[in-house]
């Protein structure tokens, strides 16, 4: 790594974490209660898990049960079978009371004009989070134990704080991966700042939603894959490594990003008693430990949300791109077998929980793909990626999404050129990892038939990396820094516009009858 690229040190990590924290707090402060998409449903799940109803109870509702409770309650009961109708209704009522007090109904355009609602059905009909995989709710539920009698609004804020820290984790993972991808120049820092300052990315710092945990797992997988693909024993690294301080960077991996400590400590397994007795085994462990860690992270992603499947895509692309994979087919086969088992287990959980993201009907899949790539869906994706407010009911004005979308497409294309031209400031292998990850997520989204910017956010680090490669692709090295500075000024200004002209105005000024 050349001296003008920021080293992977604890000091730099702190600086970036503080920056992410401050920026995430902006959104935390300005986003009103319940204005993060689907927050009522997700918080309902968190509360029910924290109250001890987390395990499925084997209840399946019948047509006749519809006299007993609203659909939202029936769906929650199907997931949290040990909770009775009254318990679930009470949770919904406490959330609805808080929403009513906070003028929620006046802020969302599509909601009915009557705010005397009695169940989530009347907030949005046939929407539920009861089909979501369980991990996010089990991770966040203990937070509510800290304040067992808190009201729903406070519980929401408590879980939002967790999102803030996850956002910091995402930015740190991005920085780590980008530092491996850009051994020279300002590319690593710019990629990191792009994830930290892209408004719809930063907005995730303040929302109660399993998207935020999914983002973290995918960013972590991306960082571990970047490490695996660029460490010195990788053929890619040896081919590209005109790197003076690689070993220094290695030494800081654990301190810079605690999440990578596990992989790193296993990779130095020869120093631990027992494993040193068999050098071949310890070499194998060292070789495959990051890949095994990747499979574990993919499992965490898959058990958090279906969009966490991009973590599994990262494993596949990392395996394809890693030279050892082709030389040691047995290890590769074992790894892919493990990944297959994890995917199968996760898919069975999704299907068992009636997740609408999954269908085994080919005709349905074809329809979804067609809808997923329809012009209307692409426009929705573009708009929700650039900026929409109040449960995506109000767009950012003026509508810059066509121009920004076109600019991003051009940069992606230039990025491919940059990778093909094998620029010295880029480890092309990581560009292709990012490309595969981004493309896989787009295809996975298309299979859902619904496109939203937040579904693309798990792969924000990969997209940011490609954009920055595109930005620098045709520039002489000396121009990188001034261009990066200009780009950053534009990014920060756009973020400020989003914050004050968009979020601030929509959330606090433009919502009155």
Positions in the binding site for other proteins (CB under 8 A): 3-6, 15-16, 18-19, 22-23, 25-26, 29-30, 63, 66-67, 70-71, 106-110, 112-117, 121-122, 125-126, 186, 189-190, 193, 196-197, 393-394, 481, 484-485, 488-489, 492-493, 495-497, 499-501, 504-505, 508-513
Least distance in angstroms from the C-beta of 492 to other proteins: 5
- The conformational region for residue 58 under phi > 0 = left, psi -120 to 50 = alpha, else beta, is left
Number of H helices, E strands in the chain: 25, 2
Least distance in angstroms from the C-beta of 146 to other proteins: 24
Residues 228 and 253: their CA atoms lie apart, in Å, by: 12
Least distance in angstroms from the C-beta of 53 to other proteins: 25
Tokens 């130095």 correspond to what residue?
268
b vs e for 158-192, b when ≥16 Cβ sit within 10 Å of the residue's Cβ? Answer: bbbebbbbbbbbbbbbbbbbbbbbbbbbbbbbbbb
| Cβ-based nearer residue to other proteins, 74 or 414 | 74
Residues 203 and 45: their CA atoms lie apart, in Å, by: 21
Residues 160 and 164: their CA atoms lie apart, in Å, by: 6
| Cβ-based nearer residue to other proteins, 381 or 499 | 499
The alpha carbon of 503 is separated from its chain's Cα centroid by a whole number of angstroms, namely 21
Residue 6 DSSP class: P
| Cβ-based nearer residue to other proteins, 63 or 277 | 63
| Cβ-based nearer residue to other proteins, 208 or 499 | 499
Contact between residue 256 and residue 1 where contact means Cβ atoms under 8 Å apart: no
Residues 413 and 506: their CA atoms lie apart, in Å, by: 35
| Cβ-based nearer residue to other proteins, 84 or 115 | 115
Least distance in angstroms from the C-beta of 496 to other proteins: 4
Residue 503 DSSP class: I
Burial class (CB in 10 A: 0-12, 13-18, 19+), 143: middle
Least distance in angstroms from the C-beta of 198 to other proteins: 12
Tokens of 430: 């990581």
Dump the DSSP string for 57-99. Answer: ------GGGGGTS-HHHHHHHHHSTTS-HHHHHHHHHHHHHHH
Least distance in angstroms from the C-beta of 463 to other proteins: 18
Dihedral over Cα of 314, 403, 23, 208: its sign: negative
- From residue 384, how far is each of 28, 144, 401, 440, 481 by CA, in Å? 19, 31, 9, 19, 30
| Cβ-based nearer residue to other proteins, 46 or 69 | 69
| Cβ-based nearer residue to other proteins, 101 or 233 | 101
Least distance in angstroms from the C-beta of 500 to other proteins: 4
Least distance in angstroms from the C-beta of 314 to other proteins: 26
Least distance in angstroms from the C-beta of 391 to other proteins: 9
| Cβ-based nearer residue to other proteins, 190 or 293 | 190
Least distance in angstroms from the C-beta of 28 to other proteins: 9
| Cβ-based nearer residue to other proteins, 3 or 476 | 3
| Cβ-based nearer residue to other proteins, 138 or 497 | 497
Q: Looking at the chain, how many residues does it have? A: 513
Evaluate the omega torsion of the peptide bond into residue 428 and state whether it is cis, within 30 degrees of 0: no
| Cβ-based nearer residue to other proteins, 328 or 501 | 501
Least distance in angstroms from the C-beta of 442 to other proteins: 26
- Using DSSP bridges, classify how beta strands 394-395 and 388-389 pair: parallel, antiparallel or unpaired: antiparallel
């Amino acid at each position: 790594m050349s001296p003008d690229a920021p080293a992977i040190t604890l000091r730099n990590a702190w600086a970036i974490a503080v920056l992410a924290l401050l920026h995430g707090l902006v959104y935390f402060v300005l986003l009103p209660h319940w204005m993060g998409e689907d927050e009522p449903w997700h918080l309902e799940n968190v509360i029910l898990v924290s109250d001890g109803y987390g395990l499925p109870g084997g209840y399946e509702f019948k047509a006749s049960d519809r006299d007993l409770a609203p659909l939202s309650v029936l769906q929650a009961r199907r997931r949290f079978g040990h909770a009775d109708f009254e318990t679930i209704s009470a949770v919904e009522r406490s959330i609805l009371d808080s929403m009513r007090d906070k003028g929620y109904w006046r802020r969302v355009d599509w909601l009915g004009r009557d705010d005397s609602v009695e169940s989530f059905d009347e907030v949005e009909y046939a929407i539920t989070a009861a089909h979501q995989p369980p991990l996010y709710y089990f991770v966040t539920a203990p937070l509510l134990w800290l304040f067992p009698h808190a009201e729903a609004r406070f519980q929401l804020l408590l879980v939002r704080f967790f999102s803030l820290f996850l956002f910091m984790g995402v930015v740190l993972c991005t920085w780590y991966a980008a530092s491996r991808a850009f051994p020279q120049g300002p590319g690593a820092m710019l990629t990191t700042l792009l994830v930290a300052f892209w408004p719809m990315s930063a907005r995730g710092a303040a929302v109660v939603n399993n998207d935020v945990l999914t983002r973290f797992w995918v960013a972590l997988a991306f960082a571990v894959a970047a490490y695996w693909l660029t460490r010195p024993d990788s053929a890619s690294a040896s081919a590209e490594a005109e790197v003076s301080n690689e070993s220094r960077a290695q030494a800081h991996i654990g301190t810079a990003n605690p999440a990578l400590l596990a992989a790193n400590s296993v990779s130095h397994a020869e120093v631990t008693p027992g494993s040193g007795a068999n050098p071949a085994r310890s070499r194998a462990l060292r070789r495959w430990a990051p890949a095994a860690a990747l499979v574990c992270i993919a499992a965490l992603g898959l058990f958090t949300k279906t969009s966490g499947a991009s973590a599994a895509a990262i494993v596949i692309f990392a395996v394809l791109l890693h030279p050892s994979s082709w030389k040691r087919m047995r290890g590769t086969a074992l790894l892919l077998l493990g990944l297959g088992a994890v995917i199968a287990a996760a898919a069975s959980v999704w299907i068992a929980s009636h997740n609408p993201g999954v269908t085994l009907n080919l005709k349905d899949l074809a329809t979804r793909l067609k809808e997923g790539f329809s012009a209307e869906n692409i426009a929705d994706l573009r708009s929700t990626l650039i900026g929409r407010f109040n449960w995506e009911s109000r767009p950012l004005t003026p509508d810059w999404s066509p121009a920004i979308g076109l600019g991003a497409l051009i940069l992606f294309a230039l990025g491919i050129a940059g990778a093909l031209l094998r620029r010295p400031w880029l480890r092309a292998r990581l560009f292709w990892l990012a490309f595969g990850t981004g493309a896989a997520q787009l295809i996975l989204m298309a299979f859902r038939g619904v496109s939203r910017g937040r579904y693309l956010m798990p792969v924000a680090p990969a997209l940011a990396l490609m954009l920055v490669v595109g930005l620098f692709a045709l520039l002489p090295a000396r121009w990188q820094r001034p261009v990066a500075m200009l780009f950053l000024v534009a990014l920060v200004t756009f973020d400020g516009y989003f914050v004050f002209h968009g979020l601030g105005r929509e959330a606090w000024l433009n919502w009155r009858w």
